[in-house]
Structure 1
Amino acid sequence: MQIAEFCKSIICILLVGYRILQTKARMKKSKKQIAFVIKCIWCLVFMGFHYGKAQKQIHFEDEYNRLKQLAQSDIHSALKQTDQLILNARNSGEQKFVVKGLYLKSFAYLLNGDPESCFENAQESLELAESINYKEGQALAYRILGTQYAKMEASDLAMQNFEHGLNILKNLRSQESYEVRGLILNSKLIVLGDGKEPQLTKEKLAVSLQVVEEFRHIEDPELRNNQLVSAYTNIGYNYADLKNPDSANVYFQRALSLVKPDNFYLQAAINHDIGYLHMGAKDYQKAIMYFKKALAILPDNNDFVNKKIEILKNLSQTYSENGDQSNFIKYSEELKKLSAVSNKKNFHSLEKSLQEKNKTIEDQNTEVSVYSGLLISLIIIMILLTVFYLYRSKENQKKYEELRKKISIGNTDNKSSNLKDSLQETSASASGKEISPETAVKSGLMVSEKTTERLRLALQDFESGTLFLEKNFTSAKLASLLDISSRTISDFIKTEKNMNFNWYINDLRVRHFIQKLDSESEFRKFKLTYIADYLGYSSLGAFSNSFKQITGIGPSYYMKNRNKELEF
């Protein structure tokens, strides 16, 4: 029964009640009978009020589910309409739907690559959910916070938030709790990474199957199917990594059959995943077809930037592996432009957030004495920052000169030792020491003299190439190339180079960066963000940390000073 129909029924019942009262009055019946009729009418009104309230909740739930779908096809419209949902929920006292609305906004900002706004709305959603003891709402907020951290590769923080959410839902068995639990488990797959090791992939597959079991508890068929789409997609992805294309394709097609035509994001995501499946099978033509189809589905604007970047990366890589350099260059340029848009968007959102915070501070501090105190504090801070800047500049210049001197000495002596060796003089290989039996036993390295020599030559070949520039290059991959165990190559590098494997790879990348600056004038024109990606780092921050650990100064400072020297 709809609200309008119910209201009509209530009016009819009231009219009937009124007629009864008139009849009773004419018949001069007892007052008790009249009171009984009045009570009946009030009961009906009370029932109507609660029915209307329940219908209002159903309306909010339907609107929330509709906006969840809209966020995956038209982000800006979804954000605008979600603001209206939140306003209506506040005015109606429906605090749970305020929580859900704020969560929905953070979800939309996550899809659109705006971490600042995502964190802001998720945190507000969490605080409100805690204040009204809405556990499913708290878990939703932790889910979106964890997912955003996972996108930023902050795995520890992501996992902490996911575990918080799951612990809150531990003893709950409501329809909503099943849905939220499935969503959190789904997002945990991001933290498990893109590793291709069978054991890790089987673990991810087990989690994906658990997600399906959680979603199958949802009674609403439309809501259940909407959630099963991502679960089936992840299972397909796992089977693709396990080299089981037939099972992967079954789940991809199953997911695609459940997606609504206007859900651009999920349609594009699934077509991308099917393309990824064909890419892994070296069926490049089909891979290209599905990647392009995925791009064509997404709207031609700045929505879904992260998904477009992911598709363009795999599309350009497919063209590269297929030997089509012209298309590789074309889509690599598109990828570069879109990445710049994404970075600019993040910068502007952060700048806007800072401006709003500064405005709030200014509004709150209206007293002249406070402004004077702030001014004096700022002057002191500026003086301290200037002194600190001059000191750091002097220290950096000193370190830069020492670095260039040591690099020049290394080049003059025609040494092939690692950059870390030339700077720190702690490596056994840099000092010309052979691996003694005692050292080998101490480090756990038990290889023959012949194997030792073979590994030395193999590492020389590896260092002269560019394999170490691949993203997420692991000791397992290098061990596979050299046909030895991961433990052996790690121990050998530790003994031979006096550093662990990760430091060894970073050392090679930093040295490669320095050599490219010296030898290629075009390379000096690139931005550090592009260079960090080229060198195989996940972010500019990761590259800067590695460079500073090895050389003592930042890459931007080194590049700026080296470019000035080379200009002359």
Structure 2
Amino acid sequence: MLFVFLEQINGQSKASNATQEVSNFDRLRAKISTLPDSVKIQTLLVSLNDAKSQADTLAMADAYYFLSRVTGENQTLYKNSFVYADSLIVLTEGKGYFRYPARGYLSKGIGEYEHGNYEEALGFYLIASKSAKNSKNELLYRTLKFNIGLLKDIVGEIEEAQTIFVEYLNFLDQNPKYKNAITYNRVLFAVADSYLKNNQFDLAKRYTNIGIRHTLKIDDSLTYSYLVINSGIIDYQLKSYHKAIDSLEKGKKIIQKSNEKGLRIALCDYYIGLSYDSLGEIENSILYFENVNKTLEETEYVVPRVLDAYNYLIKYYKFKQNVPKQIEYINSLLKFDSIKDDSQIHLIKGINKKYDTVELISEKERLITELKHENFFNKDKINVLTLFLIVLILIAIYGYRRNYINKKRFLKLLNKTKQNNKISNKESSLDKVNISKEVVDQLLGKLLMFEKQEIYLQRNINSKDLAKRFNSNSSYLSLVVNRYKGKSMNQYINDLRIDFIVEKLQSDTKFRKYTIKAIAQEIGFNTAESFAKAFRKKTGIYPSYFIKNLKNDNKVTI
């Protein structure tokens, strides 16, 4: 995966309100630039609260933006990035700012890109690009075009991606005021990588060496490691296998010290394995190809370029007549084929695979038959294998049935009107709860206002607080809710929230763009998990499934 980029702000802007925006933006960026991440977040939250107290929309937008980027770079906090970006977009939409809401959409696009959701990333990039063009923000517009070039690189449109990368590099060279050292290094890497993929090895080597010199000047260790790995791949392509192994091992050691391990480690191991294979050191090559498998199993991230390692593993164990190992690696390859999500399937195309799904299943069945005929396995192992196949079939049946049930529940939910929790006046209930009719009527009336005013959307509301608001006590209130609503207080509040958001999602398409966490917080839940649990308890499906199918509700059939 290549780097994604954000606009770097240096120099004058053309828009009428750009000067104010630049000063606000740069002041905050300078303030947090040298701080540790945890301190950055606290500092930005303080800035956000200050901006809110002064009703300074632009300062709030800047704080939301930097919160989105800082949390987006943290593996444990990255989901918060989408919440802050959503807040930024809602705050600045239609305000005519020079860089907002475009940067909010860009931030969401980068988050989706970095987690392999390329189709979603493209959608956000296109929205951001249109916004940047309308506000005449040339640098941001070109940055977004560069990021779209990264997606072209992923789908194999290398020549088009290369044109975009070289164009962006020339733009930075011709406009020094926009030139940021880190960004420039990463553009050099993208250009070098595109030449490598186009088999233009001389140009790839030239830009790789330029990039290495630039990264060493500013101690940009991450980009340096990427360029060193590229250098090793170029050496492999030029058949300098020992040099290739040295560079790849060097780059691998640097990457292992960073947070970006999975993809690049697998890439290093793959080309080291190829180099050893070319040197005739087959046993060494297999060790590295098995490392590729280990990395993919740990991350479950599909890396099309390195899947060819399985061909070497299957061929090797076929030669060794180790049928169980052949089946193991065929299953692994099938597994990585199956975990590709829809966006990757639509976006990633033209991958040349020696073992497509049909061939792999056929080969697997042939090997199992061979095992039975040649008695490689004893009876117990054959029974285990048969059981394994039965389990796979049952899982497939279960998956199909679950999908059918979920679609049915989705359609039922679409056609169902919001329940209004009508009160049933059961006189016998008064004796059971031991409360006067006057008190019951008062509480029911206040509950009706509670529902109409949507007070249930407030966070952390409970029976004790509500009873205090109603000038009653929590015991009385809980009894009345239990008898007349037929549910506990918590379930009553949660059901109101779910009814609200089901209608909101159907009527307001803007809400469908929010993350689950953002929606949860919007309607009073403390966590995305508690919201999802309450949604599923009431509707039978998860909110993510409901939102996804809302976009195509005309296509849903059962």
Same fold per superposition (TM over 0.5)? no
Greater helix proportion? 1
TM-score (norm 2): 0.44
TM-score (norm 1): 0.43
**Greater relative contact order structure (CA < 8 Å, 6+ sep):** 2
If you compute each CA radius of gyration, which structure gives the higher value, 1 or 2?
1
